[in-house]
Amino acid sequence: DAPTNGKECTRFDLEKETELRFEVEAGEAAEQVELELLTGLAEVFGSELNRNKKYVFGPGSKIAVFTWQGCSVNLHGKPEVAYVSKDTPMLLYLNTHAALEQMRKQAERENERGPRVMVVGPTDVGKSTVCRMLLNYAVRVGRRPTLVELDVGQSGVSVPGTVSALCIERPADVEEGFSVQAPLVYHFGSTTPGTNIKLYNKLTSCLAEMFSQRCEVNRKASVGGCIINTCGWVKGSGYQALVHCASTFQVDVVLVLDHERLYNELKRDLPHFVRVVLLPKSGGVVERSKECRRDTRDEKIREYFYGFRGVSYYPFSFEVRFSDVRIYKIGAPSIPDSCLPLGMSQDDTQLKLVPVTPGRDLTYHVLSVSSVEDGDEGARKSIVEIPVCGFIVVTYVDTQTQLTQEGLERLPPSRSIQNSANRGKMVIKTQIYR
Ligand code: ADP
């Protein structure tokens, strides 16, 4: 255990089909941990490690270094915990990939579409990690699968409160995850689907429609299929949302992680041709506290505006007049059925666009920017159904001089949100998709 660069260094010799699990202490003051592959072959969640390269993991990271053939690695720094496990479900996960790959080969031969896979289970069973591995294995054999992210609480693609789709063209970076170049993002606006389940289901359908359209024109995307990551809410409306997702995406395979009841319910409720598979969770998956989840969400928003690791963005603020923007909220408060106008249902109120008058309470809110031209009723309706082009955060609202400030970064001036009801300005910060 000779120290290098002043950091403590521990060597681990891993036998084949074992994994080294380690966690980096959380908190800003925590020290990073560096991982280096010395001999053999190893991967982190399906991404291969290069030999003699130091991979840096920041506070709060929870990592597994798996080896199929055996390897030696060094850890520099002081992980909160580090141990080797021989008991992993990796062989089952690899077999799952092999079965999906067979389906892709068949799709290729028979001019059909590739597998659409939904990964479900309660929170902290490793759903996102399984998605990442399956996507990595697929892209490593030359496929172009699509990641569909429906976890509005912990999105791996965009800011919290969004659902999205991302075409995967290369394996995830070991430190940074998948490259988020041109995701398709819809703004849901809450970290739990229950806030507006109608809207959540609507956006799921929009994503499915967009994905199907892409598959029609792009054979590789069609054969590659998709891997859908879902929320950990598996009861009541949460369960119904999973059934809805399976139906709207016409999924072929459902992978249920560590939840027998959910497995049986889905087997009962989904059409017989959908293969529902129960998989164990990895013993390495770490439960995250409420605080930890909140911190991850804050970090995701910070990343969006200020960049990540090597890439720094410098958001600048500018003023927008109230008269130059139109701001909407999706979903009106529900009213009793008896009070609804004739011919209108509760569904309509949950998807209704409600104009928002800018006020102080808008300060520090994250808003999304729509590319829809504001005009007639029809255009307004489609605001819900069209992906957003980026996000802004309102940093200051001045109702006195009617000056609202939002922080805007790289926002084309023509694409501002609008509300003509008031004359005033706000300062916004923004960032359009990188
Ligand atoms: P879910 O999507 O079900 O909420 P995640 O896939 O996000 O769960 O996993 C939770 C945490 O556990 C993540 O921080 C992930 O890095 C970590 N993790 C997953 N698998 C392992 C493993 N085999 N060893 C160590 N940590 C793991």
Query: What is the distance between the alpha carbons of residues 41 and 134, in angstroms, rounded to a whole number?
Result: 18
Ligand 1 mean position to 204 CA, how many Å? Answer: 24
Strand partners, 407: 393, 428
**Confidence (pLDDT) at 433:** 42
Q: For residue 307, give the 3-state DSSP assignment.
A: strand
| Ligand 1 centroid – CA 179 distance (Å) | 19
339 Cβ contact list (under 8 Å, min separation 6): none
Q: How confident is the model at residue 325 (pLDDT cuts 50, 70, 90)?
A: confident
Decide: helix, strand or coil at residue 189: coil
Q: Could you tell me if 226 and 251 are in contact, meaning their C-beta atoms sit under 8 angstroms apart? A: no
DSSP assignments along 148-162, one per residue: EE--SSS-SSSSTTE
User: Which atom of ligand 1 has the smallest separation from the CA of 282?
Assistant: 23
Q: What is the DSSP letter of 340?
A: S
User: What values do phi and psi take at 249, rounded to 5?
Assistant: -85, -5
As beta bridge partners, residue 311 has 308
Q: How far apart are CA 264 and CA 388, in angstroms?
A: 37
Give the side-chain half-sphere CA count within 13 A for 355.
Answer: 12
pLDDT tens track for 93-152:
999 999 999 999 999 999 999 999 999 999 999 999 999 999 999 999 999 999 999 999
C-beta pairs of 48-55 under 8 Å, 24+ apart in sequence: 48/140, 48/171, 49/73, 49/174, 55/174, 55/175
- pLDDT (tens digit, 9 = 90+) per residue, 231-279? 999 999 999 999 999 999 999 999 999 999 999 999 999 999 999 999 9
Q: Cα(274) to centroid of ligand 1, in Å?
A: 26
The identity of residue 297, as a single letter, is R
What is the value of pTM for the model shown?
0.90
CB 40 within 8 A of CB 67: yes
Question: Among the atoms of ligand 1, which is closest to the Cα of residue 283?
Answer: 23
Rg (CA), the chain: 23
**For residue 334, what are the CA distances in angstroms to 153, 189, 343?**
23, 17, 15
Length of the chain: 434
Q: Within 6 Å (CB) of ligand 1, which residues are found?
A: 21, 62, 64, 123-129, 232, 282, 284-286
If one compares 105 and 414, the residue with the highest pLDDT of the two is 105
